[in-house]
Structure formats: structure tokens, C-alpha cells
Structure 1
């Protein structure tokens, strides 16, 4: 089955135990816009929050499922071990380093990783995040910061950067990335602990990279609050997604088949180390049920859940997201 190359990162979905604190940090401290407040479509008793650029352009979304009873994460292998967020320049990192000190955000010192300036930090639940400078970058375009963000545009986060995977068996994941998904090896570098292989797709650059690290000295990660649930990669449209459904079927790779998510269409499967991958369409986007000006202010439900709104709202803890 002939398919077009994946266009880069679409979104990353992670876990939080506290939607309110999560909302406060990602909007008030990091300055992202909440573009959609909805529910986990597989478990409508919990929130699904989408943070992004001004309108949730594909490649800018960091999303969270709220699991109130989620335990701590025991970090390890076979995991999405780092989510990068793009900022415009090296100077931006100095701004963020100062801001993290002001807001008591746990962070490392500014460093260089694979030729780019980076700043590793964690949210209050231990979510592993990395600011990456786009000063020397070219490739997949970023998004557009929201004008009402508390962060000046010249320093603002405007998209997802490289996704870091830590696995116990390199070859299996490499086969999926290259032979199935069409990523190409770009370069290699040495991190603190091991060699990292950089793969890229689409136009490449920070918005189209996966960084793969192999660690045989770690146990398998036990996910909880502060862990990443899955990473999604961009597919142009529904027609192209259906070609991917057929391709995985032909390759006999177990998968979800086509899944309707209303804001985009999806396909899910796990690579051999157990990491969950999603392929997601660029559209329709987040403005089908809310106007641009008030995105994320009310609980949004796709049409097929609207008749259950009363019972869904009754189970959710109120979360005020109006500006």
C-alpha cells in the first residue's frame, strides 16, 4: 500500500491526577492555550484537556487525561520518556530559566543536545519536558502563539519538538519507525546515559523528529501521573488515514482500525516494545463546536456524546476555564 510520508508530530497525550492544577500550570506558567475541554471518549467520567497554540494547529497539541487516582510513575524503559516543546531562539531559554526560578519549577541548566540549545524541566507531577530552541532549525513549521498568552511572543512555546523514546530492544522499534512508518535515520549523538538515534519524517527538523535511546539497565516503566500515554503523528486527511489502515492490515500489525475522534480521525497500534503510537488527521480541528474566541471555555462534547451531557457533567468535578 503506497502512503504519503507522515508530516511530523500531531500531539502527545499524557496523564494527570489533578485537572485544575494541570490547567493552572500549562496555561498560567507555560502560557499555552486550552483549546478544548472535553472528556476521554473511552472513559467519559474523566477530563481530556488539550493545550496548544492559538487554535490547536496540528503539531502543537499537548493533551492530558485526568486520572484522579493515578499513582506515581516509576520511570523506566519502553516509554515515551521526554516531550519537547519548541521555542523561537536560544535567548528564549534564558527567559524560561528565569521564569522557572520565579515559579519554583524543577529544571536543569540550559544545555546543548544534538546541536540545539535545550532546557529540561518537570511539572509538579514529574512530567518530563524539554524546551528546545528553533534558532538553528529548519523543517516542519511551528504554530502561532495565542495573543492573550502571558508569555511574550518572542519567547512563547509554539509547537511540539522531538519526541524521546526509551526502549529495551532497539531493532524492533527501528523496524516500525523506518520500514513501516517511513522515518529515516538523520544522525546520532550521545546523551548522559547512552547513544541516541535521531529519526525524522516529513520536512524534518524539530517538529518531525523521534529520538530513540536504548537502555538495557532499566526496568520497564510503570506509568502513572506524570507519564505519557501515547504520541500521535500527522496524516494529511481521512483518505490517507484509510490507506494506513489497509497498510497495517496487510502487514498484520494489530491495530484499532479507523477511530472517529470528531476533532480528528485516528488509528492506534503498539510497536513491539509496547509504546502506543497514533496516526491522526490534520483536521477537522477544534472550531467545529466552539468559536475561535472562546475555545476551551466550556465543556465540549462530540455529537455522539451530546445526548449524554447531563450524566457526563454530573460525574465531572467543575473546572473553571473561562478567561
Structure 2
């Protein structure tokens, strides 16, 4: 039998400009580029992984580069916002000033699900929320990189709640609770007047690193995914044995799925829930230091062994990113 999911593993989104993306997430947000690689299903595009000091599971924010992608059109059947954890309410004060200094579009600090939060947008319109762990963290956070431009006490420590926006919440909530083992934690008022409360679900040890927020919106069209949009959310499983148990569980429930997939840095399973949002289950290991020294993560193009023989061709199709400025 498959064990409970441990929490959030990673988020994967789209960018049209890898260099702009790298500048913002490392130099403004202070995250570490822990792996510069390619989309294993389409090696013509970069896949960039940002995280804590070593890219621990639960800290990874990743981007596929699609240079010709149109702007994301928000709507239903979407992963509508991503959260990043910080240690304290005081850290949000630091971030409000830092975002202003860098000309970042942001909101005011507000309460979401009982936590202080600060919402903002990256240069391509990606919707992000900084969330304070001051009043109960739940699943353990990561450790900010000591060489980050952001002081460690204010640094981003991992992934916080992910928000799903759907036209009908019931089937999505049913999959999360009845199939995937999430628990109902409560709800909080919707951001738009007249809309249903946002449902809060949690798994594993709970807390901000293990929550899904489900927003039901009757008034929106379906999302048109593009740059500034989110491709999928991944949830943590302990190891390959657990993942294979989940493969059986998802298949038995009748969901079309990818089956077991070896991503080299972790193993995966993909499937879509009833509203069409792509879910991934991913193992905690082997990790990003499998093929690079910890001190050198992200500095060169890393390719898994099954792509290494095509390195010359792959590199010829990629525009270099300067990661050493």
C-alpha cells in the first residue's frame, strides 16, 4: 500500500527568457540555481532548477524555457499561484522593501489561511506569494544558500502552499482526499468578493510545505497556458519503492498516467486530475549532487547519462546563460 505523500516536491513553470529568469530568481529572490539542464522530453529547451543550498526536495522551483510562448491567460483548470516560504513575519518586511528596490510588482502583506503573506509577480507575470512560517511550519523547510545576495535569516527556505483554480472544486478535492490521502484543514475567504471560500488541504506533517489551496471560480474561462504560467505541481514520495506503489494505486483508480519515469535526479509519475491539472509524484532522491559537486551545482549544463551522447547537438541548440557574472 502506498504511504502518505510527504508534501510538495517542486513546481514547474514556463519562461520565455532563460537569462531574464535566471537574473530574477538568483539575483533578486536569492535562490540558488542547483541544476541547469534540458527538458528530457524536448531537449531544445532549458530546464532550470532553483532551490535552497543543495536543492532539497520541497525547495525546488523549476522553469522550462519556451522562447516563442505567448503570455499566460489566467483562468480555471490551472495552478494559479505558487508560494515560497520564509522564516518570519519580519522577513516579509525585508522583502517588501527589497521588491520595491528592484521595481517588482507586489501587493501589501495580508493574511492567507492564518499566515502573513506577500504576493508579487515576476517580470513575466508569474504569480508568487511569500509566506511566513512564524506561526507553525509543519514539514521541515530547507536552508538558504550562504552565498545568496539575500541574508540567510530572510532567505527563501522552500515551497509554500500551491493554489489550484477550478470551475468545480468537488472532483479535485475528492482526488486529493480520497485517492491521494490529503486531509481537509479548513478554508479562508476568497480574494474576489462573492466567490466561495478557498479550501485548504494538507498532507504528511502538514504546514505550509504540505498544503494545497483549491479555489472554485464560476466566472472564469479556462486558462491558456504560456510564459508566466505553471505546467505542473509535484508531490513528495520517499523512494522508488513507494513510487511504484503509487503507480499501482493511480492505475487501479483508472487515471491515465505516465507510469514509472526515470528523471535521473528523481523518479516520477504523472497524471491529470479531473479538472485537467497535471500532478506529478516524485521521489526525494537521488538528488542534484548525483553528477555535480555541491559547490558547483548549476554552473555547467548537466545532462543525464541517457542524453550525454547527444551533448554536442543539444548544446548547439541552446543559447548560453551566463551564470558566473
Instruction: Bin the TM-score by the shorter chain.
Output: over 0.9
Deviation at 1:252, TM superposition (A): 1.3
Aligned to 2:219: 217
Deviation at 1:248, TM superposition (A): 1.1
Does residue 102 of structure 1 match 2:119?
no
Aligned to 2:118: 119
Of residues 184-193 and 26-35 in structure 1, the stretch that sits farther from structure 2 once superposed is 184-193
Aligned to 1:207: 209
Does residue 3 of structure 1 match 2:2?
yes
Aligned to 2:251: 249
Does residue 297 of structure 1 match 2:299?
yes
Deviation at 1:249, TM superposition (A): 1.3
Deviation at 1:138, TM superposition (A): 3.0
Q: TM-score, normalised by structure 1?
A: 0.99
Aligned to 1:308: 310
Aligned to 1:51: 50
Deviation at 1:183, TM superposition (A): 0.3
TM-superposition CA deviations, 1:277-299 (whole Å, max 9, x none): 00000000000110000000000
TM-superposition CA deviations, 1:128-173 (whole Å, max 9, x none): 0000000002310000110000001111001000000000011110
Alpha-carbon separation, structure 2, partners of 1:321 and 1:261: 24
TM-superposition CA deviations, 1:86-121 (whole Å, max 9, x none): 000000001000001100000001111111100000
Alpha-carbon separation, structure 1, partners of 2:91 and 2:214: 26
Alpha-carbon separation, structure 1, partners of 2:128 and 2:300: 27
Alpha-carbon separation, structure 2, partners of 1:152 and 1:15: 28
Aligned to 2:162: 163
TM-superposition CA deviations, 1:192-219 (whole Å, max 9, x none): 2231010000000000000001001100
Alpha-carbon separation, structure 2, partners of 1:105 and 1:93: 14
Of residues 12-21 and 193-202 in structure 1, the stretch that sits farther from structure 2 once superposed is 193-202
- Please state whether the residue corresponding to 1:218 is helix, strand or coil: coil
TM-superposition CA deviations, 1:31-83 (whole Å, max 9, x none): 00000000000000010000000000000000000000000111111100010
Aligned to 1:134: 133
Aligned to 2:37: 38
Q: TM-score, normalised by structure 2?
A: 0.98
Aligned to 1:75: 74
Alpha-carbon separation, structure 1, partners of 2:262 and 2:112: 37
Deviation at 1:191, TM superposition (A): 2.2
Unmatched 5+ residue regions in structure 1? Answer: none
Q: 1:260 aligns with which of 256, 259, 262?
A: 262
Aligned to 1:237: 239
- Please state whether the residue corresponding to 1:287 is helix, strand or coil: helix
Aligned to 2:276: 274
Deviation at 1:30, TM superposition (A): 0.1
Hey, which bits of structure 1, 4+ residues long, moved more than 6 A? none
Aligned to 1:288: 290
Alpha-carbon separation, structure 1, partners of 2:43 and 2:151: 36
TM-superposition CA deviations, 1:167-197 (whole Å, max 9, x none): 0011110111001100010011102223101
Deviation at 1:322, TM superposition (A): 2.8
- Please state whether the residue corresponding to 2:49 is helix, strand or coil: strand
Deviation at 1:3, TM superposition (A): 1.2
- Please state whether the residue corresponding to 2:136 is helix, strand or coil: coil
- Please state whether the residue corresponding to 2:290 is helix, strand or coil: coil
